[in-house]
Amino acid sequence: MHILIAEDDPLIRQGLTDLLTQEGYQVTGAEDGKVALAQYQQHKPQLIILDIMMPELDGYSVCRAIRKNDEQIPIIFLSAKSEEIDRVIGLEMGADDYISKPFGIREVVARIRAVRRRYLASQVSTVEVSHFKLGHWMIFPNQLRAKTNDGLNSVDLSLREVCILKQLSNHPETVIHRDRLFDHCWGYDHSPNSRTLDQHIAKLRKRLEPDPKQPQWIITVHGVGYRYEP
C-alpha cells in the first residue's frame, strides 16, 4: 500500500515515514500542499495523510482538489488544531479521519488500518473477501486481520506480516529461504538486517501460536529460513 504524507515539519514527516515503512507501507513525503498535489498526481497513492497548516496550499485546499478527481481515496487529516469546528470542516470536506497532534505511534497505525478496512469493505461489499489458512487461523489480507476458525478471536496484522504469512502458507512443508522472504516482503531494494525478519516472526508467533516458545506452525530452519507446518 502506497501512502502520501504531506507535512511541513521535517521531523514529523520523517518520523511518520520511518514508522510506516517499518509497518510495510510504501511512503512518499511532501513538504507543502503544492508538492503534495504533484506527488499525488505522479504516484497515485492509496491513502493520504494531510497536515492542515502547510505552506503554498493548506490541507483543506489539497483535500478539495483531490476530491474533485477522486471521491474514494482515504484521506486522514493531521493537525495541531483540536477545536471541534476544525474536525467538522475536515470531515465535511471529505476526510475519512482526523488525528490531533501530539499523537502516539500506535494511534496513527490503528487509524490507518481502520480507515483502510472501511475503504476495502465499501469496495468489496458484494464480493467474498479472499483469505488463506495458517494453523487454526484464517488470514484476511484485505482486512489486515487474522481470525480463529471459530471466529471468537482476532488480531490485527501489518501488510508485511500478511506478506510473510502468505509466503509460508503458499508453500507448506517447504523451507522458505530468508532471502526470499526479504525479497517478497521488503522489496529488492531494501536490505534489512538479519534480526528484522526474526523480530517479525517472533511477533507473529506470540500472537498466533498456542505456545510461542514451542511453535507448531512457523518452524525455524536454522541458517536457512522458515517452514510452515499445517
| More confidently predicted of 186 and 127 | 186
CATH code assigned at 137: 1.10.10.10
How many domains does the structure of the chain reveal? 2
d(CA 37, CA 35): 5
Only one residue has cell 513538504, namely: 31
Our CA dihedral for 192, 196, 200, 206, rounded to 10 degrees, sits at: 180
For residue 125, name the pLDDT band (cuts at 50, 70, 90): very low
End-to-end CA distance of the chain: 29
DSSP H or E run through 146: strand 145-148
Residues 156 and 195 in one domain: yes
Residues 115 and 9 in one domain: yes
0.75 surpassed by pTM: no
Structural domain range at position 69: 2-123
Tens digit of each residue's pLDDT (9 = 90 or more) over 39-61: 999 999 989 999 988 999 999 99
